[in-house]
Chain A
Amino acid sequence: MTTPDTTTRRRLLMALPLAGAGAVGVAFWKMLSGMEQGSFNPHDIHAPALNRPVPDFTTPDLAPGKGFGTADLRGLTQPIVLNFFASWCIPCLAEMPILMTLKEQIPLWGIAYKDKPEDAAGFLRHSGNPFSRLGLDQDGRVGIEWGISGVPETFLIGPGGVIRWHSAAPLGEDTIRDTLIPLARTLKTP
């Protein structure tokens, strides 16, 4: 009943778990040694890099915003600030008054991250809407393309759609005054 052929197959089958565990073990070892040498950092959010073009993405034309995408950012002639926010995010709520003053100095574009349209609309109705253009990222996919680690996150986009600056924390008045605005000023084309 057990021919040599089936015995071999059986032996190979039983060795599969070992082979799988071995492969995973080697991968873990590579990760660990990479972490020690600094070449591998799983906590590093390295997309998208500074001074690189914005990633490919698009947000739908859906109320409360009209949506925008890569092409709109690539076509920029003046710098703008792109802010990821969400109605469920309390730091975003706290950041809103600052954004309302910032919009006087530089155009603000917003993306509502993992948010329902009606929630985002209610949020902006309640706290004021600082955004001149608004996109919705309901499933968080755009956030993945941009590599955001949470909300709020803010990017300064230069002319031609190049990422010039990035902050993963809520904006403070001093950050805006000392870093964001001076940097934006240098990017302005006459």
Chain B
Amino acid sequence: MADPRTRTRMADPRTRTRPRTRTRVSAAVTAAVVLAVLVVPFAVPLDEQAVDLAAKLRPPSWDHPFGTDEVGRDLLPRSVYGLRVSLFVGVAAALAATVIGTAVGAVAGALGGWADRVLMRLVDLFSSVPHLLLGIFVVTMFRPGVWPVVASVVVTHWLSTARIVRAEVLSLRSRPYIDAAVSGGASRWRVTVRHLLPAVLPQAGLAAVLMIPHAIWHESALSFLGLGLPTHQASLGNMVQSARGSLLAGDWWPTLFPGLFIIVPTLAVAGLAGAWRERLNPRRRSELSL
């Protein structure tokens, strides 16, 4: 949907800084999240499990910027660790879903014919069950543990990648360089692996990055419902779930901060992905893409 107004605004010196600012802020937040998740647990000797019953349910203060929970655990390190757990599930699920989705989409697009029809009917079949419900079903049957949760996210998230990759392969198949490869005697396998897949990877990669926040959302919903990760693994959803009691007693901070830890990285990743997409294809609008 090309919008002439947006393009002229991009050239307008008054507003040109806006997308850049957003990209910079998104990049800074993403970097901070990655740093907090990868470095802090090793660099800072904080114990997120440290219980201090004398200091339970303290509101946010300088000592405890996020406050403490119902057994006196500091919520700031707990949220960072929770994000770490959630991010692990998100990245693992996004990787697996992208591999499956790319394989299915590439096979469907490259082979065409009945293979394409069967695979796409399969995709339709999977998408006719509401995602969270399908996830709930898988987790219920295989729980408890981390891998059932990852599997339940994978089962529901490979569909969009498969559709994107198939569409991309179909549009690439009619390009001259594919014709050249085919008339040069390349086998179907070689055309797919050497010519089609590399061209599809940027799109699949973008879909994978956007999938991570989605997967975190999915995981925290399952954990909140008591169907996700085991409670000793403090993911963000588990934290909101265990904060329910204190919330009903009037203490808002154990609920608020883990939720913010889901929202802020999601927005940052969406902002970065938008910038990336504009780079890949400046004519396509980056809105409506969360």
A binds B: no
